[in-house]
Amino acid sequence: MAIWIYAEHKDGQLKKVTLELLSAGRRLADQLNEELAAVLIGRDVAALAGPLGEYGADKVYLAENDALENYTTDGYTAVLAALAKEHRPMAILLGCTVQGRDLAAQVAQRLQTGLLTDCTGLELENGQLTFTRPIYAGKAFVKAVIPEARPVMATIRPNVLGLGQPQAGRSAETVKVAAQPGDIRQVIKDIVRQVSTRPELTEADIIVSGGRGMKGPENFKILEDLADVLGAAVGASRAAVDAGWVPQSMQVGQTGKTVSPVLYIACGISGAIQHLAGMGSSKCIVAINKDPEANIFKVADYGIVGDLFEVVPVLTEEFKKMMEK
């Protein structure tokens, strides 16, 4: 029984989490001596089978149809669920992205199986796929299995499994399947793209984030300057969002996004537990805050007690100099 990876893609490229899943999936497939397959759904996406193979897929199920050009819940659910009913994989793993969350829940119910979402750990224990996932906004974790229902379904948090090395020349067998999306009730009327050259928050390796201490929307410019030098994403705490300084899409925290960057630089953020819930799993946390008693210093690996308006520009300069060398 094969392990399947849902191959999410965007703008003609495979998403990083898809590659992370393949790397982990390859490990598991080898341990279980099973096949690793990727499911690629869309329109004109055949070229993506190449990198899928390089990252470890043995097989790629290619489901193409004009009606599948844009993701729709009904269309993609119909295709993935039908494919799974026919080929009966032992597991289907998806990235816990907007699309992955949406798709996984529908498919899991259609297949009458269990689903574990936003997993941060995936191991084989006693021959069972064992998942670790955060609960209570990461204040606790649960280890869980789906003992009987098949396929086992899970969505995995981006940026936690790690990326393996692609093997140039390794290719997967592409199997074209009939992609019948059926009646798609979601009609897309409009798509609004926020143009940004910065990485997406949930995928970024480095995040520069601002809170109440930023004192106003225009001051986020100094964080953007730092982000530009570091190739980072810019985030915010709830205080900055509620004050109307930045959009909700930038919020990191319990009622915002959960991020796992390598480096999280918190500027003027007190570190309320609801915020920590969203970034507590960052590998390295830097805090810059005027208040020496700020809670964020309890979890920061490096802290500067000082005025962020004086510290951040100097930091930007220093990194710029370092990059130039």
Judged by CB under 8 A, the chain residues 234 through 263 that form the site for another protein are: 248-249, 251, 254-256, 262-263
* Segment near another protein (CB under 8 A); pick from 41-49, 60-68, 214-222, 283-291: 283-291
**Cα atoms found within 13 Å of the Cα of residue 278, Cβ hemisphere only:** 24
Over the window 133 to 172, marking each residue x when it contacts another protein by CB under 8 A and - when it does not, the resulting string is: -xxxxxxxxxxxxxxxx-----------------------
48 or 172: CB nearest another protein: 48
User: Which of the residues 287 through 316 are near another protein (CB under 8 A)?
Assistant: 291, 293, 295, 297-307, 310-312, 314-315
Q: Which of 33, 165, 194, 197 binds another protein (CB under 8 A)?
A: 194
Q: In degrees to the nearest 10, what's the CA dihedral of 87, 90, 92, 93?
A: -150
The residue behind tokens 């004192």 is 215
Contact with another protein (CB under 8 A): which of 200, 224, 225, 228?
200
Q: How far apart are the C-alpha atoms of 296 and 179, rounded to whole Å?
A: 50
Q: To 10 degrees, the CA torsion angle through 37, 41, 47, 52?
A: -30
When the beta carbons of 56 and 261 are compared against another protein, the nearer one is 261
Closer residue to another protein, CB minimum distance, 175 or 243: 243
Instruction: Please give, one letter per residue, the 3-state secondary structure of 34-91.
Output: CCEEEEEEECCCHHHHHHHHHCCCCEEEEEECHHHCCCCHHHHHHHHHHHHHHHCCCE
Phi, psi of 147 (to 5 degrees): -65, -40
Instruction: Pick the closer one to another protein by CB: 23 or 77.
Output: 77
CA atoms of 296 and 5, how far apart (whole Å): 37
* Cβ closest to another protein, residue 87 vs residue 110: 110
By the rule CB under 8 A, 116 interacts with another protein:
yes
For position 123 contacting another protein by CB under 8 A, the verdict is no
Is 273 near another protein (CB under 8 A)? yes
> How buried is residue 170: exposed, middle or buried, by Cβ count under 10 Å (0-12/13-18/19+)?
middle
**Smaller CB distance to another protein: residue 53 or 181?**
181
Touching another protein, residues 76-115 (CB under 8 A): 97-99, 101-102, 104-106, 108-110, 112-115
Q: How far apart are CA 102 and CA 241, in angstroms?
A: 25
Q: Which of 44, 188, 217, 221 touches another protein (CB under 8 A)?
A: 188
Work out the burial of residue 243: count CB atoms within 10 Å of its CB; fewer than 13 is exposed, 13-18 middle, 19 or more buried: middle
* Complex with another protein: residue 62 or 146, whichever CB lies closer: 146
Report if residue 12 touches another protein, rule: CB under 8 A. no
178 touches another protein by CB under 8 A: no
CA separation (Å) from 301 to 126, 245, 263, 304?
36, 27, 10, 10
Q: How far is the CB of 240 from another protein (least distance, A)?
A: 13
Task: Find the binding residues for another protein in span 41-70 (CB under 8 A).
Answer: none
